[in-house]
Each structure stands twice: as C-alpha cells, then as structure tokens.
Structure 1
C-alpha cells in the first residue's frame, strides 16, 4: 500500500525500478511518470534525448529553511550527514547504473525508512541525497517534467480541458520560457513531459497532437 508523503512512495519507486531492470537487460533509461503526465514530443525525440544524454535528470539541491534542511534528522548521522542532505522533485530519469545502485541500496534507504517520517517526505529527499553521495557529477540537477507551482500550496496546478491550447503546448515544448543545458550546449528543449492534466483534457491533446507535437 502506497500513501502520499510516506516512505512507501520510495519503496514503490524502487520496486518499479527493480522490475524494469529485470524485465529487459537492454533497458537503458528509466523515467518515472504519473497518470497525469503528458508527453510533449514524439517517442523518437524522447528516446534520442535520453539515450544520448551524458547526464541523468534528477533535481538535487541544498535548500535552506524548514522545507529543505529543516527536514533533516540528526539521527540519520553518520550514514547521512547534514551536509549531504538534498531535495528535489520525485520525477526522475535514471540510467541503468544508477537505477541498479538504487535498487541494491542497503545503506541509505533503511535510514530513510526509519527516520524520514511525517513532514520529512522521503520521495523529495531520498534520491536527491543518494545521487549527491554516490554520483554527484552525474546529475543535470533538473527534471524533465514541467509543473506549475505558481499558484501556491502543497500541490502543483491542475490543468483542465480548455487550458490546453496550441500556444500553451508550443510554449511548453520551447522550454516554458527558459533555457537549459544539454550535453554542454544551451537548448530550449528542457522538458519532455508535463503535468498535472485532468482526464477531460485528453480530447484537446488528441486534436492538437498531430499539428503541434508531431504525433501521427
């Protein structure tokens, strides 16, 4: 059973990774998506972007204050030191090596399961901290999933049918007004997915996909 905000979310992610690793030895990249995600590009574009990337896409940053460093428990030391504590979005993209390391982890995860409870929100800290300790130079420190936090609150904005427009989709595909780094070069293709879209928005996506997103 998985409950929002609890360590069971990380347990579920590790199980998903384990099944994906075992299912096909040729699986090279692993992306976590939800039922409210939508792709912004066709599959060949997404596949090429991931396979050719020299980085994994996972946020891992040091955030002062109650919602960052304030969630660290001193009881995690010495396995997880305060200086190693990181935060980031749970929407990750990992390569096979890092995914295998996460599944095989018997050092850090037990500490999170024991001490990261209630307002700690393990899904926002376990993978970012794990990456910072094990492979700090491997991460791009960004997510491939665009979300809108501008409306405030503990959850990002949800988009209904009429909010899905051609201009909005083109804006998302163009980096949502920003640029990022990909393999040492600046690009405006920063997001491959977006959320949270309600089920009633599907008809609009089906209408615009061939024209805007290159889907057949």
Structure 2
C-alpha cells in the first residue's frame, strides 16, 4: 500500500514537472514569436519609411520644374572656325542649352581641332556628306533635329553654320505640284529658330522633302563648273536653293504660317553694289575682316529693326509677338582675326578690367 502511494506521488511529481516544462516551453515560444513579430513590425516599419522617403523623393523630383533648353544645331564641314567665340558665348550657361554638330562623316571634335570643350563629342553619329545647294543640306537639318528632340527639355532649335553661299530668283519648279503648290511656296533664311512642335513637323515630313530632293536644285554656277559639267542651257534651270525654302514651305503647307514670326535670325550683308573689293562681290555675302570688326559695326547690327529686300522691292519691319523688335540674334560672316578682335574688345577686355580692379 505504501509502495502504491509512493509510486502515485512520484507519478504526480513527474507530471507536474513535465507540465511546468511544457508551460516554460510555450512561454518561451510565445516570447520568441512576440520577438519575431516585433522584428517583423520594425522591419516593415523601416521598409515602409524607406518606401515613403523614396516615393516622396520621386514625387519631389517629378514636380521640380526643370528649365527648358535651347538646342544649338551646327552644320559644319569640319572644324568650327569661330569656336573660341562660341565658347565665350556658352560659358556659364551650361544648364540652359545643348549642342549638336553635323560635320562630315568620320570627323571627330577633340582637343586637336577645337579650342572649346563644348564641342567635344557633340557631333551626330549618322552624318552625311553635305553639298551646298542640294537637298542633302535639308537632310542634315533633319538629322540634327531628330537627335535634339530626344531630350524633352529642348524647346527651341536654332540652326547655325560656318559659311555657305546664296543665290536668288526663279526657284519654284512647277514639277512640285500638286503636292507642293506654288501658293505654298515660301522663301526665308536657313538660319531659323523652331519650336518643338514645328521641329516635329519637319522630322515627320514624308511628303514635301521627297519633292525637294527631286525638283529643288541649284543652278549650275560658274564657280562650280570645275566640279560639274557645263550645262547646255543654264536659262532653263530652276535655281532652287532647298535650305532657304524647305522649312518655310513645309509649315505653310501644313497650315502653320499663323504660328510663325516673320523675323530674321542671322545678319548677313548682301548690299555689295558699292563695294570696290572684288572679293566682296559675287554669290557670297560680305566677309567682315579685322578692320571691319568694330563696336560701331556690332552696334549697328544690334540696332537693325527692318530689312529691305532688294529683289522684291519691299521692306520688312522686324517684330516679336506683334511688337517691334531688333532683327538679328547672330551675324555672319567673320574671319578669325575679326572674331578675335571682337572677343578681345568685349569678353577678354571685361576680364582684364576685373583683374586690374582686384
């Protein structure tokens, strides 16, 4: 009897001991589970906080107003003769512009051929051979626009060049009709400024450009006869200069003329009648030499508010948004000595004065 009681007590003791261990294990598991839940909560909170920070940063960057830029589109044979002048023009305004250069295929801007780092590696990689007075000039413009439109911040597109010739009269070819009717035929400067909307119209054009390729060609000029056969009868040729008609005619055909401001961009001196210098007469505008590059010349160009078109016997008063305005933003053609003189009188001169004062 005593032995049965002892066995029973031992059994109860073992049960109680096992029960306590079970409770301890359960409490431990609950504690561990609670700890894990805390870690998970903290981790979730951290992740949520990080996510919120990233989201806010993303929203902040999304709503930050980024300033629009001007795309400067250069058409050059090889190097840019007045790169040092452009370098002074661009300096300090890096966030406000982008540069694209169309040069001959294979030409690479580097320290060996340009003094300005703004032109390093800025040439497009799909350039073509460009001939003056041919539709290849238009295609070069379209290539530049395609590259510049990739950047959504580019809102204005400015065409620039080193130097090219010009001619007049008898340019419309009736073979362009009816796709390019004569009442849509327009003439203007190659050096234009386009809005993004108009640039996209030029790039997407598949109608007018082919017509220009086929029927808008320059007359065979004496100065080019060394490179081309002398024509049997030059009088029947249509002296069409594509780059002076294409953009204006295209926009007129698309019904966008009301959005265009009649204003020249680049000054060129074509009044050669009184010039005694044989080099200053012919198909090219006057070239400003070292002796021409004076503050008086620059001021006279800045003050120009009207242009007289000699062949059309009309005068055009320059305007911007319906108000009188100066006509020109740029000027051509200047020799390198002339450019250096102007640079010395303006930018370098100002730097020297600042240095002397300090």
Both structures adopt the same fold (TM-score exceeding 0.5): yes
The residue number in structure 2 matching 1:35 is 162
1:9, distance to aligned residue in structure 2 (A): 0.6
1:171, distance to aligned residue in structure 2 (A): 1.4
1:174, distance to aligned residue in structure 2 (A): 1.6
Equivalent runs, 1:1-216 vs 2, <5 Å: 1-22=129-150, 24-35=151-162, 67-68=168-169, 70-119=170-219, 120-134=240-254, 135-151=256-272, 153-175=282-304, 180-187=318-325, 189-210=326-347
1:208, distance to aligned residue in structure 2 (A): 2.0
Q: Secondary structure at the match of 2:194?
A: strand
Ranges in structure 1 where 5+ consecutive residues have no aligned partner: 37-65
Ranges in structure 2 where 5+ consecutive residues have no aligned partner: 1-128, 220-239, 273-280, 308-316
1:176, distance to aligned residue in structure 2 (A): 6.5
Measure, in 2, the Cα distance between the counterparts of 1:116 and 1:177. Answer: 29
Q: Secondary structure at the match of 1:71?
A: coil
Measure, in 1, the Cα distance between the counterparts of 2:197 and 2:132. Answer: 27
Q: How many residues align?
A: 183
Measure, in 1, the Cα distance between the counterparts of 2:188 and 2:324. Answer: 22
Q: Which runs of 4+ in 1 moved over 6 A?
A: none
Measure, in 1, the Cα distance between the counterparts of 2:190 and 2:252. Answer: 15
Q: Secondary structure at the match of 1:150?
A: coil
1:171–1:177: 8 Å Cα contact kept in structure 2? no
Measure, in 2, the Cα distance between the counterparts of 1:14 and 1:204. Answer: 34
Q: Secondary structure at the match of 2:157?
A: strand
C-alpha change, 1:116 and 1:78, in structure 2 (3 Å) is same
Whose Rg is larger?
2
Q: TM-score, normalised by structure 1?
A: 0.77
Measure, in 2, the Cα distance between the counterparts of 1:147 and 1:113. Answer: 27
Measure, in 2, the Cα distance between the counterparts of 1:141 and 1:184. Answer: 10
Q: Secondary structure at the match of 2:152?
A: coil
Give a deviation string over 1:41-95, Cα, whole Å, max 9, x none.
Answer: xxxxxxxxxxxxxxxxxxxxxxxxx944x32222211101111111111111100
Measure, in 1, the Cα distance between the counterparts of 2:302 and 2:348. Answer: 13
Give the aligned CA root-mean-square deviation in angstroms.
2.5
1:166–1:212: 8 Å Cα contact kept in structure 2? no
Q: Is 78-87 or 200-209 further displaced after alignment?
A: 200-209
Measure, in 2, the Cα distance between the counterparts of 1:132 and 1:27. Answer: 23
Measure, in 2, the Cα distance between the counterparts of 1:86 and 1:212. Answer: 43
Measure, in 2, the Cα distance between the counterparts of 1:183 and 1:211. Answer: 35
2:135–2:213: 8 Å Cα contact kept in structure 1? yes
Measure, in 1, the Cα distance between the counterparts of 2:130 and 2:216. Answer: 15
Q: Secondary structure at the match of 2:178?
A: coil
1:124, distance to aligned residue in structure 2 (A): 1.4
